A = this chain, B = another copy of it.
Amino acid sequence: VLAGGVSGLFVLGTTGEAPGLSHALRCELIERAGEQIAGRVPMLVGITDTSQAESLQIAEHAADCGAAAVVLAPPYYFPAGQQELWEHVERLVVELPLPLVLYNMPSHTKLSFEPETIRRAIDRPEIVGLKDSSGQMVYFHKVARLAAARPDFSLLVGPEELLAEAVLLGAHGGVCGGANLEPRLYVELHQAAAAGRLADVRRLHARVMDIATSVYGVRAGGSAVIGGLKCALSLLGICSDLPAEPFSAFGSAERREMAARLAELGLEPVRSTEY
């Protein structure tokens, strides 16, 4: 991923399966990622947890391991309202050793950071950005309009299928699961969109759609993306295909289907010397 030219790394997000990992494993992952990155790009670390005390411990560890910021999605068991959500963030933010990026992820948390809450966040210097994975571009444009008031506030988009338009219309970047597979594609799409090279944007966006449709479409249901991505990475020789609970690795029929799709996409196993 680093060789692909990414501007930063977000570890312990949703594709990183953070909520499925033990706290000890999350800490080990932060350590090892910090060592590998070695300051070449900023490392962002997810601290989302249903327990604030646990979130704070992970944040402390992230600070010790050289993270640039921590990332927080809303609480995802108890159904808080917006005022409660904001007060919760306010109580947390003063305890954090690092700047905070908010992470809007309603499909998994049931709860959004609504535009009015983002307006408040923009007034807090400790909060330095938002990753929006809602897939709701009307929402995105509303918060982009608010974020324009603060030039150092980073606006990132989650679903890679939306990277093109988000960057064309105001986002600073994206956090793309597919960039684990072919990082240079997403880097190039980001650059083309930021530079306003529309023909390139359309060509690269079309390939992003091809990859997303193929790789995330082998299996139906909630494990389509994580399971598909891990299966593909495993076939390319990059990592194991074993997801965390409650998911499980693709079976042999799904694996064969994925191999055929990767071949059609021209994605081939990485030679060991490359990474």
- Using a CB–CB cutoff of 8 Å, the interface residues on chain A facing chain B are 14, 17, 19-25, 50-54, 57, 74-81, 84-85, 87-88, 91-92, 107-110, 135-138, 141-142, 145, 159, 161-162, 164-165, 168-169, 196, 198, 201-202, 205-206, 209-210, 213, 221-223, 226, 244-248
Contacts and interface: CB of A to CB of B under 8 A. Distances in A.
B79 A108 contact: yes
Given A50-B50, A138-B159, 12 more contacts: A20-B75, A21-B51, A21-B53, A75-B246, A77-B109, A78-B247, A80-B221, A81-B223, A87-B248, A141-B161, A142-B213, A145-B213
A110 B110 CA distance: 8
A169 B165 contact: yes
Given A19-B51, A135-B137, A162-B138, A80 B198 contact: no
A14 B201 CA distance: 33
A54 B20 CA distance: 9
A110 to B, nearest CB: 7
5 contacts: A20-B51, A76-B76, A77-B108, A79-B108, A138-B162
Nearest to A83: B221
Nearest to A77: B19
B209 A78 contact: no
Nearest to A79: B222
B169 A202 contact: yes
Given A78-B222, A79-B107, A161 B138 contact: yes
B168 A198 contact: yes
A78 B198 contact: no
Contacts of A135: 136-138
